[in-house]
């Protein structure tokens, strides 16, 4: 084989190998679990800005029975409406799937959310959620899409 052809073939293989690089999926999953935990801690501390720091700029929340809420300012307004002294969230992260490229992931979990209901009494909602994360150029994971639904109609707990 001619040396130039051999060199061209080696360069092509190396170029292709660089395009198919797979991420360290366990490391990326751990990073997403850390972000998820930080988000829950921020919500339970009523730290809305700390929570929003983990969102992509054009994030989309898709609450049940409502149109999508798009962008951080709109999401801030949505969560502010839920905040009250009673507000608490707990969830069980059931799974994390990271793409082979390591720049896209989704998670699913069950949750329990307590907040002040329309009558002023605390209500507790139990449900399930699926969220999509994207990895930014800086290597941080950001929530891009969040969609949830309650398992049953919200009932007053007081």
Tell me the mean pLDDT in the region 57-71. 96
Distance, CA of 121 to CA of 115 (rounded, Å): 8
The first and second tokens of residue 87, run together, are: 């507000």
Please tell me the distance from the alpha carbon of residue 24 to that of residue 73, in angstroms, as a whole number: 33
- pLDDT number for residue 58: 95
**Which position has the higher pLDDT, 21 or 10?**
21
For residue 10, what pLDDT band results from cuts at 50, 70 and 90?
A: very low
- Other CB atoms within 10 Å distance of the CB of residue 55: 19
For the whole model, what pTM was predicted?
A: 0.80
Binned at pLDDT 50, 70 and 90, residue 39 comes out as: very high
Distance (Å, whole) CA 99 – CA 112 = 28
- In CATH, the number for domain 24-156 is 3.10.450.50
Is residue 63 classed as helix, strand or coil in its secondary structure?
coil
pLDDT per residue over 107-128, tens digit each? 999 999 999 988 999 999 999 9
DSSP state of 105: E
| H/E segment holding residue 46 | none
Exposed e or buried b per residue across 91-110, where buried means at least 16 C-beta atoms within 10 angstroms of its C-beta: bebeebebeeebbbbbbebe
Distance CA 7, CA 13 (A): 10
Q: Please check the confidence at residue 5 and state whether its pLDDT lies above 90.
A: no
Q: Where are the domains of the chain?
A: 24-156
Contact assessment for residue 123 and residue 88, using Cβ atoms and an 8 Å cutoff? no
């Amino acid at each position: 084989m001619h040396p130039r052809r051999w060199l061209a073939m080696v360069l092509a293989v190396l170029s292709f190998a660089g395009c198919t690089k797979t991420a360290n999926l366990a490391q990326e999953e751990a990073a997403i679990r850390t972000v998820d935990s930080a988000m829950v801690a921020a919500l339970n501390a009523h730290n809305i800005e700390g929570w929003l720091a983990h969102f992509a700029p054009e994030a989309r929340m898709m609450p049940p029975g409502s149109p999508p809420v798009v962008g951080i300012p709109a999401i801030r307004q949505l969560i502010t409406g839920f905040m009250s002294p009673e507000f608490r969230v707990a969830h069980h992260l059931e799974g994390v799937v990271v793409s082979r490229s390591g720049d896209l992931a989704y998670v699913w979990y069950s949750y329990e959310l307590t907040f002040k209901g329309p009558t002023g009494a605390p209500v507790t909602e139990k449900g399930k959620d699926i969220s999509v994360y994207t990895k930014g150029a800086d290597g941080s994971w950001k929530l891009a899409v969040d969609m949830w639904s309650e398992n049953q109609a919200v009932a007053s707990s007081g």
